[in-house]
Amino acid sequence: MGLFDGKKGLILGVANDRSIAWAIAEEIMKQGGECGFTHLPDKPEDDKKKNHRRVAKCLEGWEKQAKFLVPLNVQSDENIAEVMQRAKEEFGKIDFLLHSIAYADLRDLQRDTVETSREGFQLAMDISAYSLIAVCNAAKDIMSERSSILTMTYFGGEKCVPGYNVMGICKAALDASMRYMAYDLGPRGVRVNALSAGPLKTLAGSAAKVNEMLPLYAAMAPLGRNITHEEAGRVGAFLLSDMSDGITAEILHLDAGYNAMGSPGRLLDRIKEAQTKSDG
């Protein structure tokens, strides 16, 4: 018997097979859950339909659990409503919803935060933070009485992480939005949480220079290593399952303990050792 037997829900934000959203979705389907998927809209001139094709490739072999794949532009309330209507037609009520959506113009990500453009800031906040509010509002009437919503955040929304720049501000707004959604939807029996994963090699992580943090995390984290996609999948699925009943308005850190460190820890020993060798 699987943890998600009889459970149905939406997965928003899979980009490819290295997405954290896919790791979570795969674990849910392994545990018997049925999922509806969305992908980034393809541009009309893109004959290859790259965004659709990448997600469709992930779903190969999962035809029984993956019930549909449709485009989603979270800047369009009409499109969001269409996706929720599709979910209602397919499932009636849904038991879980994963929101794994973020975006900032690469030019803004690559410049100092103080130089972020007004247009870029508005765009990043709309897609990365407001979209959670929009999705929760559109989904609230089809969420079951014992359901869970999960969004993906990062430590750069809590502390300054140079290089993460404007996305850190967006994640701070997302974290606050998550707590207010948890309050508003609580009387309906809907829980809302955030998973703060450490750096993983993903398409989104590469754009925000998260991959460059991998050696630092491995050196500083109490476990002395980085996390894996499989761990992200299991923890994300846990937060979307009945096993996490009673947990809401929380940020769960999955980073091998990195967030708990107040000093470089064992990394300092390595620095001292390197200095000793250099002096010698």
Inter-axis angle of helices 131-139 and 166-185, to 10 degrees?
20
Q: Could you tell me the pLDDT band of residue 279, with boundaries at 50, 70 and 90?
A: low
Residue 204 has pLDDT above 80, yes or no: no
CA atoms within 13 A on the CB side of 174: 34
Residue 196 phi, psi dihedral angles, 5° rounding? -100, 95
- CA 168 → CA 66, 238, 242, distances in Å? 32, 25, 30
The full set of domains in the chain, from first to last, is 8-279 (3.40.50.720)
pLDDT at 198: 96
List active site positions: 154, 164
pLDDT of residue 202: 72
- pLDDT tier at 148 (50, 70, 90 boundaries)? very high
pLDDT band at 206 (very low <50, low <70, confident <90, very high): low
Classify strands 66-71 and 251-254 as parallel, antiparallel or unpaired: unpaired
How many angstroms separate the CA atoms of 264 and 184, rounded?
39
Angle at 35 between CA 31 and CA 41, to 5 degrees: 140
Q: What is the pTM of this model?
A: 0.95
